[in-house]
Amino acid sequence: MEKKNLCILPWISLDRNADTSNPSFAPCCLYQSKKEFHNFDEYWSSDELTKLRQEMLDNKRPSGCWKCWHDEDAGKKSMRQSVNESRLEPHLDCITKTNNELKPLQVKLLSGASCNLACRMCQSHVSSKVHKGWEEIGFKTKEPYKYDWMSDQLIRSNAKSVRYIDLMGGEPFYHKKIHQLIQWLVDNDHASHITIYVTSNAMLLNDNLIKNLKQFENVVIIVSLDAVGKKHEYIRPGADWNIIVNNIEKLQQNKLNVIIQPVISAINILCLPELIDWCNDKKLHMTQMSLVHEPEQLHPKNLPNKLKKLVDKRFENFITEDKTSDCIDFIKKLDAHWNTKITDSMPEWKQVYEQKQLEGQFEKDYDLYRNTLEYINTVS
């Protein structure tokens, strides 16, 4: 029987809730736990995790996974669906194992708040420089979180079975312990079966680090970029645009995957069209943008009304460029995925929908802009 509500993460993943000063274990970053778990053994054998797995096997919708259910009910692709595309089939045997037999195959390690930048939209417990700056200004701060020694040791003790490592900070490459862990995995012949994901500001890459990263089965560097040139340097004090671009090019030359991930805030929302054009020119993929919720003052809803109108205008200019074939192709792909057809609901699309598809795809960019424009309109 097909388990349409199944997600593989509760069986393989050891994630961390990075939104607090004392991150707790969870199956993913979206899961809403009823209890905080700070001990691996307690979490991995907990009644809550056991119940979560069983509810999915029973084809139920666990309440802690509400974000994915919400996205799917709204016709959006959820993280559950995205993860299952690449992880479910290779690890499907895990769902038949007992708690004692299961080992974490996917581990998130938080390198702590140590960071070389003081990004304006960052939080005080995530960046040491932001924490220091907020204290000097007089803003309320949270205790910065520390290096995640428990996940570090779990990776080392389960290195033969671990398949995915997710490194986040602060800035992971700012912490010497991350370099030591990477070196240990390489020296002990574990890197070749591990895919490693690193969220980084791309300021601290060097030749030795790149050499070590190339030893892993797969590498994805998620570069935090919010604008182009001096605008990005303003948003992330301490950043050097030329160094970042040079490091991105080094990663590309060494066949390491690079993904760009902006953080949408009141500061940079006017910069997004230029950033996406830059990514297109550099042949860089942009993943789903994240939205600033804290500090709340920088949430896009707090953008002055006069600037909100300018945002609408800039986004409208972008999506009315002569790329109609890309728009149509994108809609067709959505229709194929959801087994729908736009012409059934909107007959006026019939004439353009049935035209021959043209080459040149910008559907991902269009989707990001469309969603953001819709959001801005709702908060205006």
Residue 335 has pLDDT above 60, yes or no: no
Does 285 fall in a domain? no
Instruction: Give the pLDDT score at 16.
Output: 86
Does 268 fall in a domain? no
User: Could you tell me the residue range of the domain that residue 123 belongs to?
Assistant: 106-261
Instruction: Give the pLDDT score at 268.
Output: 86
Domain boundary among 54, 74, 96: 96
Does 3 fall in a domain? no
Whether 74 and 160 share a structural domain: no
Does 119 fall in a domain? yes
Domain boundary among 96, 130, 162: 96
Whether 110 and 251 share a structural domain: yes
Higher pLDDT, 34 or 199: 199
- Mean pLDDT is lowest, of 56-60, 169-173, 309-313, for 309-313
Whether 180 and 225 share a structural domain: yes
* pLDDT single digits (tens) 148-193: 999 999 999 999 999 999 999 999 999 999 999 999 999 999 999 9
Instruction: Give the pLDDT score at 357.
Output: 40
Whether 110 and 190 share a structural domain: yes
Give the residue-averaged pLDDT of 348-373.
50
Does 58 fall in a domain? yes
Whether 78 and 207 share a structural domain: no
CATH number reported for the structural domain that contains residue 245 in this entry: 3.20.20.70
Q: Across the chain, what does the average pLDDT equal? A: 84
Instruction: Give the pLDDT score at 328.
Output: 56
What's the domain count of the chain?
A: 3
User: Which of 135-149, 309-323, 354-368 reaches the highest mean pLDDT?
Assistant: 135-149
Instruction: Give the pLDDT score at 65.
Output: 95
Whether 324 and 250 share a structural domain: no
Instruction: Give the pLDDT score at 296.
Output: 78
Whether 131 and 113 share a structural domain: yes
Does 288 fall in a domain? no
Does 332 fall in a domain? yes
Whether 125 and 228 share a structural domain: yes
Does 286 fall in a domain? no
Domain boundary among 261, 286, 301: 261
pLDDT band, residue 147 (cuts 50/70/90): very high
Whether 204 and 183 share a structural domain: yes
- Mean pLDDT is lowest, of 66-80, 176-190, 248-262, for 66-80
- Mean pLDDT is lowest, of 156-165, 292-301, 331-340, for 331-340
Three-state SS string over the chain comes to CCCCCCCCHHHHEEEECCCCCCCCEECCCCCCCCCCCCCHHHHHCCHHHHHHHHHHHCCCCCHHHHHHHHHHHCCCCCHHHHHHHHHCCCCHHHHHCCCCCCCCCEEEEECCCCCCCCCCCCCCCCCHHHHHHHHHHCCCCCCCCCCCHHHHHHHHHCCCCCCEEEEECCCHHHCHHHHHHHHHHHHCCCHHHCEEEEEECCCCCCHHHHHHHCCCCEEEEEECCCCCCHHHHHHCCCCCHHHHHHHHHHHHHCCCEEEECCEECCCCHHHHHHHHHHHHHCCCEECCCEECCCCHHHCHHHCCHHHHHHHHHHHHHHHCCCCHHHHHHHHHHHHHHHCCCHHHHCHHHHHHHCCCCCCCCCHHHHHHHHHHHHHHHHHC
Whether 89 and 128 share a structural domain: no
Tell me the whole-structure pTM to 2 decimals: 0.82
* pLDDT single digits (tens) 270-290: 888 889 899 999 999 988 777
Whether 136 and 45 share a structural domain: no
Residue 322 has pLDDT above 60, yes or no: no
Whether 134 and 220 share a structural domain: yes
